[in-house]
Amino acid sequence: MSSLFQPHLVLQYLVSDAFFHAASITLLLSIASLAVGMAVGLLLAVAQEAPLRAVRALVVVYLWLFRGTPVLLQIVFAFNVLPSFGIVLPGFACGVLALGLNEGAYMAEIMRSGIRAVGPGQRLAARAVGLEDWGVLRWVVLPQALRIIIPPIGNQFISMLKLSALVSVIGVQELLLVADQTASGNFRYIETLSAAGIYYLALTTLFMAIQSLIERRLRRRRTPRGAPRIEATRMEEAR
Amino acid sequence: MLRLVVTLALALLPSLGLAQKPELMNAGKLTWGSSITFPPFEYEDKGKPAGFDVDLADALANKMGLQPVLTPIEFKGLIPALLGKRIDIVISGMYINPQRLEVADFVPYLLVGNQIVVRPGNPKHIESVATLCGLRVASPVGTVFEASANQASASCKSQGKPDVTVLSLPGTTNCALALNQDRADAIIVSTGTLAALLHETPGGYAAGGAPFDTDTKLGIAVRKDDPGLKAALEKAMQAIVADGTYAGLIRKWNLPAASSAF
């Protein structure tokens, strides 16, 4: 250990194949887990509005289970316990599974808040102009809910990037593990962790930029593209 | 004149007597860091840390008139914790190697070798590190085993063979589980660990080939700026070797007699 902090080493790590590859794994892992999380979340949010009581109870149990246990436990469970049931998934898949299912529980609440925020008057009006169940959701509720839930979802995106570091314990070669491995050879923790930190910051900056872009676009376009036009003549006929 | 003498004496005092006294994190206590995932050196037995290193720390602290306090830390975090003065010493089955010698001093205490562990019946016919090409090896992050696996991978590649897939996990026990669950085809461990694995789970694992690198030394890591503590440890070590405690520990933990570093 010659001097305490060697900036050129940070630069060397930043451009190294190992760190670049690790950053792409982190990004891929986050996006895949979020995709799973959003799909599960939407499903749960809609199911929570279901008329059937059993379906709603099932959703509550899911939320209770996945929000009530640490995501690190869920990751280790997927990696170490699932094989006892004959399911041996690679580390990356275990990470996406655990992070995605966990994220789904949080997404469900965010999406539910968005759906609830669209007043009953809106739905009534949508029905009055002749839209069916799916149409009401697709053309009236979701477009308005989307505008409300974009900021909290952006939050989840950024949290997910950082949560993805947890899968380092199951051997997925993401940023934190690669930084640790690099440091374990030469004990240059300041430089390796700084390089990993810079990558994380760059990725979160990218996500934040994408979020504000989406928000701006949603603000501009009030009527969703392709929405059915309610023609005056049809309404006349209905009368 | 008197004033000069007193000033000189005061100035020299820390560099002589006081500096030689070990600087401990907590007075009267020997705070030692260890990663409790490396049987038979340190592992959890009925919820309590046990193993050769645990007994060794107790014996050394006893000779030094100190109370041993174990701080469990993940293996890769041990040296940083030592350098950051969170612990006084590391006793964690740690191999003395050139990279580690650059940042810390070591008091050697045991001779070990390495050996490959495979599933029973050796389904992938692994007989040496050279036969690992194209296979999967699990190893704990930041260990010499991870380094050997990476080295094996590089030498496979240079010979135009498929490389070794290295799965890096937090501890040796995770690696043994990974081998068991067919996430890995082999793990590399110390000869002592292999003996413990075979003893604890008969029929669960098998040796893949003969031991190699048999002159590796395990050492107690001490900060370089702490020569007083290193000297005190060496003295305590000589004392437990002289009174037979050390030989007793080697027998207790079923280590080969050739493991003695003294």
Measure in Å the smallest separation between the Cα of A63 and chain B Cα atoms: 29
pTM for the whole thing?
A: 0.77
Q: Is the pLDDT of residue A231 over 80?
A: no
Distance from CA of B150 to the nearest CA of A (A): 11
Q: Which whole-number Å values give the CA distances from A202 to A9, A33, A59, A152, A179, in the listed order? A: 18, 19, 36, 20, 16
List of chain A residues whose C-beta atoms are within 8 Å of the C-beta of residue B167: 91, 171
Residue A102 near residue A68 (C-beta atoms within 8 A): no
Interfacial residues of B (vs A; Cβ cutoff 8 Å): 76, 79-80, 83, 99, 102-103, 138, 141-143, 146-147, 167-170, 174, 177-178, 181-183
Residue B197 burial (C-beta neighbours within 10 Å; 0-12, 13-18, 19+): buried
Has residue A239 got a pLDDT over 60? no
Interface pTM (ipTM) of the complex? 0.70
Q: How far is the alpha carbon of B181 from chain A, nearest alpha carbon, in Å?
A: 6
- Considering only the beta carbons, identify the residue of A170, A177, A187 that sits closest to B79: A187
Closest-CA residue of B relative to A87 is B181
What pLDDT sits at residue B18?
46
Judging contacts by C-beta atoms under 8 Å, the chain B residues touching residue A174 are none
Residue-wise burial string across B91-120, b where 16 or more C-beta atoms lie within 10 A, e elsewhere: bbbbbbeeebeebbbbbebbbbbbbbbbbe
Residue of chain B minimizing CA distance to A186: B99
Of A90, A170, A187, the CB nearest to B103: A187
pLDDT surpasses 90 at A62 = yes
CATH code for the domain defined by A7-238: 1.10.3720.10
Please calculate the CA angle B113-B119-B124 and round it to the nearest 5 degrees.
95
Amino acid at B24: L
Contact B83 A185 (CB under 8 A): no
In chain B, residues with a C-beta closer than 8 Å to the C-beta of A170 are: 169
Residues pairing with B217 in the sheet: B111
Q: Would the CB atoms of B167 and A184 count as touching at under 8 Å? A: no
According to the model, what pLDDT value does residue B116 have?
96
Q: How far is A182 from chain B (nearest CA, A)?
A: 8
Side by side, the strands of the sheet bearing B136-140 are: B67-72, B29-34, B89-90, B206-223, B104-118, B186-190, B136-140, B165-169
**CB-based contact B181 A184, cutoff 8 Å:** no
Angle at which helices A17-48 and A7-14 cross, to 10°: 60
Query: Residue A2: what pLDDT?
Result: 47
Indicate yes or no: CB of A88 within 8 angstroms of CB of B182.
yes
Q: Domain spans of chain A?
A: 7-238
Hey, what amino acid is at A170?
Answer: I
Low-confidence ranges of chain B (pLDDT < 50): 14-19
| Chain B: closest CA distance from residue A73 (Å) | 14
Burial classification of residue B199, based on how many CB atoms lie within 10 Å of its CB (0-12 exposed, 13-18 middle, 19 or more buried)? exposed
Q: Which amino acid is at B40?
A: P
- Segment A161-186, tens digit of pLDDT: 999 999 999 999 999 999 988 887 77
At residue B146, the pLDDT reads: 93
* Residue of chain B minimizing CA distance to A84: B181
Residue-level pLDDT at A187: 80
Which site among B101, B169, B187 would you substitute to test the A interface, given the most A Cβ atoms closer than 10 Å to its Cβ?
A: B169
CB atoms < 10 A from the CB of B46, how many? 5
Residue whose structure tokens are 């080697």: B250
**Cβ separation of B76 and A189 shorter than 8 Å?**
no
3-state secondary structure at position B85: coil
Q: How far apart are CA A62 and CA A78, in angstroms?
A: 16
pLDDT by residue (tens digit) across A6-19? 899 999 999 999 99
